[in-house]
Chains A and B, each alone.
Chain A
Amino acid sequence: AQKVTQAQTEISVVEKEDVTLDCVYETRDTTYYLFWYKQPPSGELVFLIRRNSFDEQNEISGRYSWNFQKSTSSFNFTITASQVVDSAVYFCALRLNTGNQFYFGTGTSLTVIP
């Protein structure tokens, strides 16, 4: 069975602080894809990043960076110099190589205080 765990339910940081959102996944498949989505108050999930199981290179995109470690089954997300606009719920998700079903974590609600 597949499972994604986001242990942090809520996080509050002061603007300009760095924050890391944790994600741990479980699957027995060797080929899979990991995702991060952002959900602002409007409700729409916005795609942030996709990683496949064979690519453990970390990635940086502006203030966002992702650390994928297969050895610990983790796919953590760091926001550097957080801004108020980063306030949202962030979801980590797992997708297998078969089908389009996504397995979502329960989300981490991030509040950036000005």
Chain B
Amino acid sequence: KAGVTQTPRYLIKTRGQQVTLSCSPISGHRSVSWYQQTPGQGLQFLFEYFSETQRNKGNFPGRFSGRQFSNSRSEMNVSTLELGDSALYLCASSRGLTSNTGELFFGEGSRLTVL
């Protein structure tokens, strides 16, 4: 069973540019969450999507956005990149929303460097 796949794995951008990251969840999983991991802030929740709808959002500026497609694949976009956006962006999938006690299954992440 394939795990969570994230692309690209590494990318370098310059300030002011935008970036799109992609995540393919485990087959059958309908919930996709995104987390930002930095040395200073640790793992911080960005947003969660289920059935193409954003269900929950963390405390990030509007430059961070995402979407989910009908096949449960998800993308996140960061516009007008800032140096502080350099981080490992982790995608996680799970079968559903509340009432399930399932764990999140994580991808290996997309490491973004902003110069």
B97 near A100: Cβ-Cβ < 8 Å: yes
Tier of interface size on chain A: 20 to 34
Decide if the interface of chain B is mainly helix, strand, loop or mixed.
Answer: strand
A43 near B31: Cβ-Cβ < 8 Å: no
For window 21-64 of B, CB contacts with A under 8 Å fall at: 31, 33, 35, 42-45, 48, 55-56, 58
Is B111 close to A, CB under 8 A? yes
Interface residues on chain B, number (Cβ under 8 Å)? 29
Known contacts A43-B88, A44-B109, A91-B43: A102-B104 contact under CB 8 Å: yes
B108 near A104: Cβ-Cβ < 8 Å: no
Is B66 close to A, CB under 8 A? no
Q: Which of B31, B58, B102 has the most CB of A within 10 A?
A: B102
Beta-carbon nearest neighbor of B102 in chain A: A50
**A interface vs B, CB < 8 Å?**
33, 35, 37, 42-47, 50, 52, 91, 97-107
- Would you give 27 A-B contacts (Cβ < 8 Å), ordered by A? A42-B108, A43-B111, A44-B106, A44-B107, A44-B108, A45-B106, A47-B103, A47-B104, A97-B99, A100-B48, A100-B56, A100-B94, A100-B97, A100-B98, A101-B33, A101-B56, A102-B33, A102-B35, A102-B43, A102-B45, A102-B104, A104-B43, A104-B44, A105-B42, A106-B42, A107-B42, A107-B43
